Structure 1
Amino acid sequence: MTDATCPSCGAVVAVGAKFCESCGKPLGGNPPAAPVAPTAVDDLSPISAPTHRKVADSDVVAGPRPCLSCGGAVGPDGYCETCGAKAPTERDHFRETPASWVAGVCDRGIVHHRNEDAMALLASEGRAVLVVLDGVSNSIDSDVASLAGAKAARDVLATPFPQGMGTPASRTGAITKVLAEAATAANDAVVAATDPASTNPASATFAVAVLEGSLLAYANIGDSRVYWLPDGGPAVQLTVDDSAAQQQIEAGVPRAVAETSKDAHAITKWLGRDAPDVTPRTGQVELTGPGWLVACSDGLWNYASEPDALAAQVAAAGTAVPLDLALALVAFANAQGGRDNITAAVARVEQNASEPATAGGA
């Protein structure tokens, strides 16, 4: 008996097979449900050369995976048990929900051949840690390094901030020191994950948001961002990019022009063996009302850079469930023609005060 061919992709398949091993489409029977919009992309730099090392799925903490096409369960063989679609690896798409009010989604997207974004989240009652690293696509091993760096920073931030010497200035200084230590730990992990012989060492951007009660502390290197989107606004971009676009903005170029210029996504600081400086920009703010905390890579904010534009997408999602919001933000970016990996980490903050926060950084 001769083999057959898949009507979807043309690959040779064994007679009697239920699904194509190449594309995962069912062979005969009812067609799969229409796919939902896939998640979006992140970095606008060129696609990098393939890494010489792989990230094991066991390196990513993720729960049972739903099918991205129909929402069914992904079986042990990596195919949906409902529609037969082949699922991405857990490194290419993973989710974290450490608490009911905190969640994140990290996804490869539709253009890049691997996911070089990473995130690591922690949450307990009244405390949340959101860490986002965006591996630079034209460097080698950035997928390995970004994940290692995110976990290293998360581990540094696992314990509450020190109180300092009891004065506001002392506590601010103590928190700034811890944020710098988290950046250093992330950098050390990125370097350790890089082949010593590499002439194009792994590198990544870095963004962290830590919420303790009403205190929000944040830090960044590169152009991953932290936003505070209070209910009723005004929304605030807390972090300041280390990028060519930011340099243009500071020189008086309109934001929309700067962020769409040829070199807009060229970063001026990063983590990695060749990093010129791994001291993060930091800031702290007291939150005085309910809202959404968002840490993300540029695959999201490239399509909603202005704080109010991102807040509009949060409102359009129409959900108070953090994981649903993160998924909606990723789907939004992809629907805009996303060209990069995307990470959206969110925390729902519930407070009763009435005045919105304002940013204050260093």
Structure 2
Amino acid sequence: MCGRNLVTGETVVVPTVSLSSRAGLVCTGCGESGTEPYCDNCGRRRSVGRDHAELDLSAVAAVTDRGRRRPRNEDAVVIARYDGGLVSVVCDGVSTSTRSDAASHGAAEAGVAAILDALTTGADPVEATSLGAHAAAKAARAAAGPEESDTPPSCTYVSGIVTPDAVTVGWIGDSRAYWLGPEPACLTIDDSIAGQLAAGRPAPDTVDPDPSSRALIRWLGADSTDAEPQVVTLGPAGEGRLLLCSDGLYHYLSDPTELTAAATRNQTSPIEVARHLTAVALQGGGHDNIAVAVLSFPALGGSAA
């Protein structure tokens, strides 16, 4: 056993750690846990995610929370480290679809797995980002059942890869990525009518171009055929952090400069930043599920693990 690829002869580097917000399935009716989609105790469908979860791999960390007004947490977040950098995916279940928590968790886990597989077998971050989105789209489509043809499980998607010298982000939908550091910025453009119009892009001809509409024009699910992410790569001039989040956070705090200030106010580690930003959203009202992932740049102190 030498650890080399049997076809190419190259050494295969496996991811060091990967963590997901998925847990044992919990029934929203009686609280019983189990592995089956429906509760053996009361017959209701179990929630795929946790009401609250914290993931911490030191240089990358995440927090997700149900919020104060939703019956279940339909956001999902996965974080990972590999020999060369950090990876995370955040997915936000589309509330108007059925079982959106199944779509978001399936997409997040499949997306990170595909990104890690691509990166550790030689793909560059841009290619890995595209492969991750395609895998996530396939997983989201697979979450649909025959009885859900009208409103199948759907979600939005954003991924982030941090290496020693760059940050690469890909997205489909309106989950966002922010650079928190020198010259803070929002790196994504919402795939919504309002987001496209605000960025100076035309709205699709098939929709009413209302500049205030947050209606999605791209998402992942069985009723969507567009799985090609928009991709942005940034070479930061100094140290900072990449933030991935759902609208449960940026509804309350969306300005990049204000986010950077909040992320550096008495918080020294990624998990502390993720906890603090989640608390900001909850204190603001917690109207929606919240998912926050924080990745340090440069990755792993600027060198491979």
Point out 4+ residue stretches in structure 1 off by more than 6 angstroms. Answer: none
Change (3 A) 1:163 1:121: closer
CA-atom RMSD, angstroms? 2.9
Match of 1:7 in 2: none
Task: Give the drift of 1:338.
Answer: 2.4
Please tell me whether residue 244 in structure 1 is matched to residue 176 in structure 2.
no
Task: Give the drift of 1:92.
Answer: 1.7
| Identity %, equivalent residues | 35
Match of 2:226 in 1: 277
Change (3 A) 1:89 1:59: closer
Match of 1:109 in 2: 67
Task: Give the drift of 1:103.
Answer: 0.5
Is contact 1:105–1:344 with CA below 8 Å preserved after alignment? yes
The residue identity in structure 2 corresponding to 1:180 is S
- What is the rounded CA distance, in whole Å, between the counterparts of 1:217 and 1:323 in structure 2? 21
Match of 2:180 in 1: 229
The residue identity in structure 2 corresponding to 1:299 is G
- What is the rounded CA distance, in whole Å, between the counterparts of 1:92 and 1:196 in structure 2? 28
- What is the rounded CA distance, in whole Å, between the counterparts of 1:237 and 1:94 in structure 2? 25
- What is the rounded CA distance, in whole Å, between the counterparts of 1:235 and 1:262 in structure 2? 25
- Aligned mate of 1:134, from 92, 99, 119: 92
- Aligned mate of 1:345, from 286, 289, 293: 293
Is contact 1:269–1:276 with CA below 8 Å preserved after alignment? no
TM-score under structure 2 length normalisation: 0.75
Is contact 2:179–2:187 with CA below 8 Å preserved after alignment? yes
3-state DSSP of counterpart to 1:57: strand
Match of 1:16 in 2: none
- What is the rounded CA distance, in whole Å, between the counterparts of 1:276 and 1:90 in structure 2? 26
- What is the rounded CA distance, in whole Å, between the counterparts of 2:113 and 2:128 in structure 1? 11
Please tell me whether residue 306 in structure 1 is matched to residue 255 in structure 2.
yes
- Find the structure with the greater CA-based Rg: 1
Task: Give the drift of 1:285.
Answer: 1.8
Deviation per CA, 1:91-139: give whole Å up to 9, x if none.
2211211x21110011110001111100111014641001000000110
Match of 1:179 in 2: 129
Unaligned runs of 5+ in 2: 1-20, 27-31, 34-46, 202-209, 300-305
- What is the rounded CA distance, in whole Å, between the counterparts of 2:118 and 2:135 in structure 1? 17
- Aligned mate of 1:58, from 24, 27, 33: 24
TM-score under structure 1 length normalisation: 0.64
Is contact 2:103–2:154 with CA below 8 Å preserved after alignment? yes
Match of 1:193 in 2: 143
Alignment of 1:282-297 (within 5 A): 282-297=231-246
Is contact 2:75–2:92 with CA below 8 Å preserved after alignment? yes
Matched residues, number: 254
Task: Give the drift of 1:325.
Answer: 1.1
